[in-house]
Amino acid sequence: MDFLGCKPVHSPMVVSSKLLHDDSPLLSDATMFRRIIGKLFYLTITRPDITYAVQQLSQFVGAPTEVHLKAVHRVLRYIKKSPGQGILFSPNPIFQLKGFSDSDWATCPKTRKSVTGYCVFLGDSLVSWKSKKQQTVSRSSSEAEYRALATTSCEIQWLLFLLGDLGIVPSSSSVLFSDSQSALAIAKNPVFHERTKHIGIDCHFVRERIQNGTLKVLYVSSSNQLADFFTKPHAPAVFNMFKSKLGIHSMYDLACGGILKQHVN
């Protein structure tokens, strides 16, 4: 497979795309599809911009179809457009963890399971991110948002343990942002109700971190919810806006910018 001469695209997925298990004929040989997905998984370590697309495509490695292969080809065409894309780590000396948590409720057309997306910053630098389908079906968007909140809280707690092992003490309490007022209300309410009984473990975990001062949960508007980048495909303009806010840049552009700056000085 040779994509050196392919036409680049501005985003890894089409906004209206909904991948299904039986949307087209099965591939006669799925070996190539599986190899590409494995390599793309490795690439997500430094390329958060393809995380959601790879998460979606990886669900079909058992029985990929022709449509799934075309979707993989689009990801490769996107990578060709920006081969030097990567994360820019800021020299900001402030050691505070800031997390963004979001979910796309009942997004899977077959199982109606939701997708959790989160990203965590150390100071101004992106250090952790994930896009993953939730293990159980959520009966409301509030439940899906709260499950995402609990998952992100676990990640922040693990990062705090890691920083502690490295001898780094955070400058202040970690902050977790969500655009769901109902999920935040559940997190801050010390009384359990019938409607939250089935997510009681998640409630206990998040509230314990809030009560001991490890974590603060705050509201953020949907337009500034960076974790939305990991829950659904976006149009190129919105996609590029999210990339910029997450600190994802082209290394070639940064290098040229530095050269030009030195030249001007």
Same domain, 80 and 106: no
Q: Which two tokens stand for residue 134?
A: 């939730």
Q: Are 20 and 109 in contact (CB under 8 A)?
A: yes
Please report which confidence band the pLDDT of residue 103 belongs to, taking 50, 70 and 90 as the band edges.
very high
Which residue has better confidence, 259 or 132? 132
Q: List the domain range (segments joined by +) for residue 151.
A: 97-228
Please report which confidence band the pLDDT of residue 255 belongs to, taking 50, 70 and 90 as the band edges.
low
Q: Are 44 and 50 in contact (CB under 8 A)?
A: yes
Model confidence at 47: pLDDT above 70: yes
Same domain, 109 and 128: yes
Mean pLDDT calculated for residue range 32-50? 95
Model confidence at 33: pLDDT above 70: yes
Query: Cβ contacts of residue 156 below 8 Å, gap of 6+?
Result: 97, 99, 120, 174, 176, 209, 215
Quote the mean pLDDT of the chain: 88
Same domain, 217 and 104: yes
Among 14-18, 86-90, 157-161, 196-200, top mean pLDDT goes to 157-161
Q: Between helices 141-165 and 181-188, what is the axis angle to 10°? A: 60
Same domain, 116 and 184: yes
Distance separating the N- and C-terminal Cα atoms of the chain: 46
Residue 52, in any domain of the structure = yes
Predicted pLDDT of residue 194: 45
Predicted pLDDT of residue 261: 45
Predicted pLDDT of residue 191: 63
Query: Cβ contacts of residue 108 below 8 Å, gap of 6+?
Result: 114, 115, 133
Q: Between helices 200-211 and 141-165, what is the axis angle to 10°? A: 50
189-208, pLDDT tens digit by residue? 766 554 555 566 677 788 88
Residue 64, in any domain of the structure = yes
210-245, pLDDT tens digit by residue? 888 889 999 999 999 999 999 999 999 999 999 999
pTM comes to 0.89
Q: Are 242 and 234 in contact (CB under 8 A)?
A: yes
Mean pLDDT calculated for residue range 249-254? 77
- CA 224 – CA 179 distance, rounded (Å): 9
Residue 111 belongs to a domain with what CATH number? Answer: 3.30.420.10
Q: Which two tokens stand for residue 123?
A: 């100071």
pLDDT over 90 for what percent of the chain?
63
Residue 209, in any domain of the structure = yes
Predicted pLDDT of residue 131: 97
Q: Which two tokens stand for residue 27?
A: 């591939």
Mean pLDDT calculated for residue range 86-111? 90
Residue 239, in any domain of the structure = no
Determine the residue type at 95.
F
Predicted pLDDT of residue 22: 86
Mean pLDDT calculated for residue range 29-37? 94
pLDDT over 70 for what percent of the chain?
90
For tokens 């979910």, what's the residue? 103
Predicted pLDDT of residue 249: 87
Same domain, 221 and 103: yes
Residue 251, in any domain of the structure = no
Tally of structural domains, the chain: 2
User: Phi and psi dihedrals of 106, rounded to 5?
Assistant: 50, 40
Predicted pLDDT of residue 251: 79
Same domain, 74 and 101: no
